[in-house]
Amino acid sequence: MTYLKMVLFALMVALETVIDWIRTFIRRWIVDTCVDKIYSISVVVGSGECNAKCRHCGGRFLRPGALSGVQGTIKGLESAIILCKQYGGWAISLTSSGEPLMSPDAVTETLREIDRLKRMGYGMAFVNLFTNGFLLTDQRIREHYLPLWKSLGLTAVAISIHDVDYARNRECYNVADEVAIPTLAEMVGAVKDAGLVPRITLLLHRGYCDNPVDYQRNLDALRDLGVYMVTSWAMCKPNGEWNQYSPSRWNLFRIRFFLWANCPRVFNQIWGGGVYNYHGLSARLTTYVSEHKPTNNFIRQLVVFQDGTVAYSWFQEGNFCLKG
């Protein structure tokens, strides 16, 4: 029975792929569509300094443009938010070319600007901060910054992990023995204590969480920790190509099949993947945000870089909607 279901799922995936090819082909030749929707904004903040040394680090490509640890990303933000809002977007993600919690004043300045725009009528429903979480239990972060950021409109903190298992996660971050990393329970507790929503980015990483058994084990453990929003994508090169850190295509297919066969689907994402209800936990399987396809009639994410450039994607030359 499971085998038959898997064949059916494979046929559906193949059909979806063929439809996507046909749609892309038609759009390439028929110029009757423009951008209808911009879903969200990513803002690069902080100095680019990081307390981890991941072998797979993609942040290093962005570091040449990093600001100081106190200067928020302000230039370009107003245009990006107004544009995204007018095209129906609803979320802002604060990220960094390093670890944003190492530049808390820059995060504060950026959030102040987002709050100012909100007061002008350009508020976004969700403002998320992406972090490796190591500093979430630091006294100053916990007692001063997290409550301050909440008062400036931050809604959720998304902690990136490679596995709920402490040792496996630590191994991926490749930190020196003397670097203290709190447990995931402590990180989640700090976020909850500040009245913010904890989210987890569970990376699908070859040799770590890269198959349905480990994926399900992680979801169960996260639900036990009181985390109800988990997003996953396969690690890959910044341009979206597979590399040595990516799970095998077969294992990724099996993870997709596990969600499809066992969990009610909440909604699809136009760029691929979807959101599923895993026993009350929202499990989102998505793709790495990288290049923008010119044949798409949507922008998945506007990116605000620290020099004020607003771009249609992360890693493509010339893909700008604002550049000084």
Which residues here bind ligand SF4, judged by CB under 6 A?
50, 52-54, 57, 59, 98-99, 132
- Measured from the CB atom, the residue of 134 and 278 that comes closer to ligand SF4 is 134
98 vs 12: CA distance, rounded Å = 39
The count of C-alpha atoms lying within 13 angstroms of the C-alpha of 322, restricted to the half-sphere facing its C-beta, is 18
**Cβ count within 10 A of residue 25:** 11
User: Look-up: residue for tokens 């991941």?
Assistant: 54
- Measured from the CB atom, the residue of 98 and 212 that comes closer to ligand SF4 is 98
User: For residue 176, what are the β-bridge partners?
Assistant: none
The length of the chain, given as a count of residues: 324
Q: Which residues contact 51 (CB under 8 A, 6 or more apart)?
A: 99, 102, 132, 134, 135, 175, 179
Closest CA to 298 of 33, 37, 30: 37
Shortest Å, Cβ 79 to ligand SF4? 26
100 vs 77: CA distance, rounded Å = 17
Shortest Å, Cβ 151 to ligand SF4? 27
- Measured from the CB atom, the residue of 98 and 104 that comes closer to ligand SF4 is 98
- Measured from the CB atom, the residue of 48 and 247 that comes closer to ligand SF4 is 48
- Strands (E) across the chain are located at 37-44, 91-95, 126-131, 156-161, 197-202, 229-232, 265-268, 274-278, 281-285, 298-304, 310-311, 320-322
Shortest Å, Cβ 205 to ligand SF4? 11
241 vs 170: CA distance, rounded Å = 25
Shortest Å, Cβ 132 to ligand SF4? 4
118 vs 125: CA distance, rounded Å = 10
- Measured from the CB atom, the residue of 49 and 115 that comes closer to ligand SF4 is 49
- Measured from the CB atom, the residue of 59 and 104 that comes closer to ligand SF4 is 59
- Measured from the CB atom, the residue of 99 and 113 that comes closer to ligand SF4 is 99
Q: How far is CA 269 from CA 67, 294, 300, in A?
A: 33, 18, 10
- Measured from the CB atom, the residue of 203 and 225 that comes closer to ligand SF4 is 203
Shortest Å, Cβ 31 to ligand SF4? 39
Q: How far is CA 134 from CA 4, 11, 73, 182, in A?
A: 44, 43, 22, 6
Shortest Å, Cβ 225 to ligand SF4? 21
Shortest Å, Cβ 98 to ligand SF4? 5
Shortest Å, Cβ 50 to ligand SF4? 3
Kindly report the backbone phi and psi dihedral angles of residue 229, in degrees, each rounded to the nearest multiple of 5, phi listed first: -135, 115
